[in-house]
Structure 1
């Protein structure tokens, strides 16, 4: 059967099931066989209940002692029972699965697999899988078991059966598009072998070889696509002329602070771009507080003095308004017309602003997603700036650039990543780095403490607030969860209100709140109407409160280093000494090492490099938010060496593009063209 045939050609997959598969991007047989496992389980033998110890994963067969019963605990429904064998008994608990009350009966024999833990001083398996005979056959036959990402209505068994049917149907029909010369030079196995072994690995060595080939392919096409896209973009000729006029020079001279050498270097690169033969498409990477906004503001002045409009899009209303306040101070010496455009404005206010923008009566528009809505039309837009670029989808940024006629594009990111990785991943953009903080900025004193210091931490919070300062407290969860004891925002807020003096004003903030409510809470904190803001990581970006001097992060070991650094950067923005307290009870060597890195350095690029070295799985760069293709199997953290290897091959092909016309590259060229069509049309500006 041909690889492009729909999955409905397979036995057992009708129209209804095909719709479920389509939700996870599976339409054709090739989609199915390239739907890779995200992890694997090693087959485990049966254990007797008396052999069970905390933190281990066990396969147990036993008799249900009591009919399952359910109870509601906060927002979670707990369903529990106990099973026994001839060596002992153990509890079983499931979350939000009350239907098990009907499925499981007293006296029934069941086989379960799950992780053991203590609950009220008794051992139990939490959320164990109930295994059918078919599952057991699979576990008996495989020593390494693939685990696939799921969607509602599709379980592991359905995925495995479908993959097996598809593999059988397209047997020997998977063409290898990679030329033999590239495969041999990079010691890669064939595509067909890689796809088979990634689903049915015989051992770890074979699995690693299979992953390496598939990861290499993903990185190769991604980077080659970026390189080609960049070449195409370079061909867009500059439509605008910019001259450094009096207002620009005066603003530069009257800044209340001296620009750093790094800022001057980046500014020179921007001006050179804006006066060059082709359009600017530049990413500015800078640590928290490095002064990216000042550089962007000077570019805005340059555009305005030459009769052009600019737009700056921020991820939150609060940040957009704070940009407005900052820029108004900078623009005081020149006559610049600047307006805000955000979602909370009334319809009449928006329409009035739309008309002014279209008539050219506004030089600079600062806003959120509202600036890309239908009805926003610019007269002569020449400069597009997006702040915190990883917070926007690429389609949104393209809509913004589409408001003008090939405007210059400047993208700012306060999420440092290692330089080499940035140059590889942002291959479609020129990258500028501000790696120098303004002189005189006070270091944020950072401490790691365990739970035994909690009373001292509370006393310190009260002391800072009595001195007129404000405090952030970040928790990893919104609500309490029975599955773990991570600190949560809602219950933590209520607890603080009881434990701290009653005059201290405390409020919470989390991503599940309505946008209007979220903005109002952030603005109240920014105005000094709240003393403590208890929040999830929603405050990582988009709020600037110089009076906030204390950042407390609960369960700090649960966060990535780069994210901890971003959170710490919410304080230290005023003239007062600021502090960051990381509360962690982690006993692991890795956990302690990560906390130590936070105390030894405040250099975001150094921390990002360390994060890359030790973090493991994680969406380090926010690729899903930035709009880059989501890799099916590659991981930019774990597969860095393969990334570098693929980069060299991509660079060689890009520089010698004529080889794509050779017969040996025919399948590769077709694959690349398909990749460009389905992925690169959505890639960054």
Structure 2
């Protein structure tokens, strides 16, 4: 039940005076929600200092300024395209006000010669003199109030003005209770010099003075409140999970040793450490929720296979879920190759399976004769029944919603769950992104894996690149060719256009895959390339993750300057998986901008995904870094990941300590914490 003190904040936006049926949808779009509280979380992007300046002479070109002066002259336009001009003078200098397509009689009424006026707007340089075009404010100081000393400026949407939004926000502020208790640690609040919660909102939305330090402290305070709310929700989820019982899957040292002896290589130290953590979780009596995060080619599937062996040795089934048909088949082939020779029963299930094959697989899952299954969304269909599902492994987890993962977990009573991602993220963000998951990191590459040689070339050398691709094909190798767009008339670097060109010039079967194709068509194109039916695959970034073709030795990326650093790294990871030298050719359209040059240089310098993730974060900020938006990791209202990583870490420790000492949140501070969680993270409470 929501605390009744918060009822006014969770009323609909049309409960505000002046918000009718026409404005309500626009205001909901702007606020990112339907409640009054959502509007208060739409914070100003900046603030304009509207205080009256001491003199016109002290103003500078390019700044927004408010000045007072006497109307010195009025000059009508000398042709249709020229403006009306009004000159103000204050004893120190002149300011010309320019008005295009204005009513001359109205202007003369607004600016009588010899009368004092206050105007506010941007000071421009017009032939070396100060000019203000269409002032934001025109005030007669003898009759009207001056402009606000500080004006918050909001991001807007069609149909809304800044003045109107600010008026609605002022109404909304009246609904914030005055008696909200302090939920943050009081020592931290004092040390950081933060205002109280309501005061922080007032500093941002209705500041009395222009004070950048106060704006920063108020925003930081609200960011911490959001961090604390999220981290306490995660801490409570972890505690609730520990209270649930799950089947204990004992360690299986001999079976794991048998698997490792059969490998042609030794696992890396990182793989061994990660599996030890997973094995310990599985042998416990509460359900494992662990993220296995590793760079491209770090060997996540082997770790997953080791976990499946432990499950099978304990009499439990394992389900590997992949986001696409091709990745599910690929995973099945890898697991089958690793585990079938050791006597484990491995099968695959996807939408492609029909008739007796499907029925046989469903029977094997139901009677337990199939121990390990690799599949797509088909795994959580109603008809799929497991005899004793003990382990769920979700590959490329950011491609699935939480609901998808839970559907598969619902096939058994509290199975252990391992989610795997080939998307490294900056270590500073791991806590923020992974929420209530424990994290294991694979930060070593298997021995013997050859680095991919990365070269940057202007697209004026396209003919040389096509010739190199032809030579690789004649050696029996395969080539990825990535384009930024599917098909745009005025751009030749498109997948459809490049597919036609390469088909003609290379005279070999060339595949094409992009996001507009149906799922079955995409799967068919990827499968043809994997089996060698096509030797070149022209694609958009749909091949970014997971496709494993050891024969592919060249990755060409057109218009590389337009891709994010982490995305380029993921694409590069599609080659270098076999025993032949591999190359990534970054084709760019000159001239290169500074940021694009830095991205490409970083990629040439290192193949460490975590280092690249850190560099990408510094270059681009949080944005949609590494697909985190799809993962639901950047749905913050106030938190800025590029600034607030340290706050998240502090909040995580604070929330863990509070929830541990007060798991039912019945203390004074615990009850206060419930309030901020209701406001800041209502979606995490469901």
Residue 521 (1) aligns with residue 521 (2):
no
Q: 1:70: which partner in 2?
A: none
* Shift, 1:366, TM fit: 0.9
**1:462 corresponds to:** 470
Determine whether 1:417 maps to 2:422. Answer: no
Counterpart check, 1:9 vs 2:15: yes
Q: Secondary structure at the match of 1:311?
A: strand
Cα RMSD (Å): 3.7
Aligned pairs, number: 596
Name the stretch that deviates more: 526-535 or 516-525.
526-535
1:600 aligns with: 605
> In the TM superposition, what is the alpha-carbon distance from 1:671 to its structure 2 partner?
2.5
Deviations 1:39-62 (A, max 9, x none): 56989xxxxxxxxxxxx9xxxxxx
Q: Aligned residue for 1:550?
A: 554
- SS at 1:639 equivalent: helix
**Structure 1 residues 42 and 372, CA, compared in 2 at 3 Å: closer, same or farther?**
farther
Match of 2:595 in 1: 590
1 CA distance for matches of 2:425 and 2:601? 19
Bigger mean CA deviation after superposition, 626-635 or 375-384: 626-635
Residues in 2 aligned to 1:433 and 1:462: alpha-carbon distance in whole angstroms: 39
Paired residue secondary structure (2:8): coil
Distance (whole Å) between structure 2 residues aligned to residue 22 and residue 351 of structure 1: 49
* CA distance, structure 2, for counterparts of residue 606 and residue 474 of structure 1: 24
* Match status 1:563 vs 2:570: no
Assess, with a 3 A threshold, how the Cα gap between structure 1 residues 451 and 308 changes in structure 2: closer, same or farther: same
Between stretches 249-258 and 564-573, larger displacement belongs to 249-258
Superposition TM-score, scaled by structure 1 size: 0.77
Partner of 1:679, secondary structure, is: helix
Range that drifts further, 456-465 or 666-675: 666-675
Contact kept, 8 Å, 1:378 with 1:403, in 2: the verdict is yes
Change (3 A) 1:633 1:351: farther
Contact 2:268 2:445 in 1 (8 A): yes
Cα deviation digits, residues 458-492 of structure 1 (max 9, x gap):
2222222222211112222223276xx69332233
Q: d(CA) in 1 for partners of 2:434 and 2:154? A: 31
Residue 161 of structure 1: aligned partner:
164
CA contact 1:343–1:370 (8 Å) conserved in 2 = yes
1:302 is matched with which residue: 297, 304, 310? 310
Match 1:449 to one of 457, 463, 469: 457
For residues 222-237 of structure 1, the aligned pairs below 5 Å read 222-237=230-245
CA distance in 2, matches of 1:348, 1:17: 58
What is the CA distance between 1:645 and its match in structure 2? 4.2
Q: Report SS of the residue matched to 2:629.
A: helix
CA contact (8 A) 1:380 1:404 kept: yes
Q: CA 1:389–1:466 in 2, change beyond 3 Å: closer, same or farther? A: same
Cα deviation digits, residues 247-282 of structure 1 (max 9, x gap): 544322111222122212222222222223433222
Conserved in 2, the CA contact under 8 Å of 1:629 and 1:679?
no
CA distance in 2, matches of 1:347, 1:3: 55
Equivalent residue, structure 1, for 2:543: 539
Native 8 Å contact 2:236 2:663 kept in 1: no
| CA distance in 2: counterparts of 1:253 and 1:409, whole angstroms | 26
* 2:628 aligned residue (608, 613, 623): 623
| 1:650–1:186 CA distance, 2 compared to 1 (3 A) | farther
- Correspondent of 1:667 among 669, 672, 683: 672
Query: CA, structure 1 residues 664+410, in 2 after alignment: closer, same or farther (shift >3 Å)?
Result: closer
Provide the C-alpha distance between the structure 2 equivalents of 1:135 and 1:235, rounded to a whole number of angstroms: 62
Q: Show CA shifts across 1:98-153 (max 9, x none).
A: xxxxxxxxx999xxxxxxxxxxxxxxxxxxxxx9999999xx98997745475xxx
Name the structure 2 match of 1:263.
271
Q: 1:486 to 1:674 in 2, by over 3 A?
A: farther
Question: Per the alignment, in what secondary structure is the counterpart of residue 409 of structure 1?
Answer: strand
- For 1:264 and 1:173, the matched residues in 2 are separated by 52
Q: Contact 1:551–1:580 (CA<8 Å) still a contact in 2?
A: yes
C-alpha separation in 1, matches of 2:351 and 2:464: 42
Q: Choose from 468, 474, 486 the match for 1:478.
A: 486
3-state SS of paired residue (1:626): coil
CA change 1:181–1:665 in 2 (3 A) is farther
Shift in Å at residue 566 of structure 1?
1.0
> Does the Cα contact within 8 Å between 2:317 and 2:370 map onto a contact in 1?
yes
User: Is there any run of 5+ residues in structure 2 with no aligned partner, and where?
Assistant: 1-6, 50-61, 63-79, 84-99, 103-132, 140-146
In 1, Cα distance between equivalents of 2:489 and 2:194: 45
Match of 2:638 in 1: 633
5 Å-filtered alignment, 1:385-424, equals: 385-423=393-431
Q: Secondary structure at the match of 1:231?
A: helix
| Deviation of the 1:292 alpha carbon | 0.9
The answer on whether the counterparts of 2:457 and 2:586 sit within 8 Å (CA) in structure 1 is yes
Deviations 1:421-457 (A, max 9, x none): 3245435222212211111111100112223333322
Selected match of 2:618 from 607, 613, 617? 613
> Quick check: 1:365 aligned with 2:373?
yes
Equivalent position of 2:322 in the other structure = 314
Q: Is the 8 A contact 1:539 1:567 kept in 2?
A: yes
Cα distance between partner residues in 2 of 1:203 and 1:475 = 47
- Cα distance change of structure 1 residues 162 and 377 upon mapping to structure 2, 3 Å threshold: farther
Q: Tell me how far apart the structure 2 counterparts of residues 303 and 155 of structure 1 sit (CA, whole Å).
A: 58
Tell me the equivalent position of 1:187: 193
Matched, 1:573 2:577: yes
After superposition, what is the alpha-carbon deviation per residue over 1:645-676, rounded to whole angstroms, capped at 9, x for unaligned? 44454355345448954435643333236666
* SS at 1:3 equivalent: helix
**Offset of 1:410 from its aligned partner?**
1.1
1:181-220 equivalent positions in 2, closer than 5 A: 181-196=187-202, 198=204, 202=210, 205-220=213-228
Do structure 1's residue 173 and structure 2's residue 171 form an aligned pair?
no
Cα distance, 1:633–1:173 mapped onto 2, change above 3 Å: closer
After superposition, the C-alpha distances for 1:41-92 in whole angstroms (9 at most, x for unaligned) are: 989xxxxxxxxxxxx9xxxxxxxxxxxxxxxxxxxxxxxxxxx9459xxxxx
Look up the match of 1:494. Answer: 500
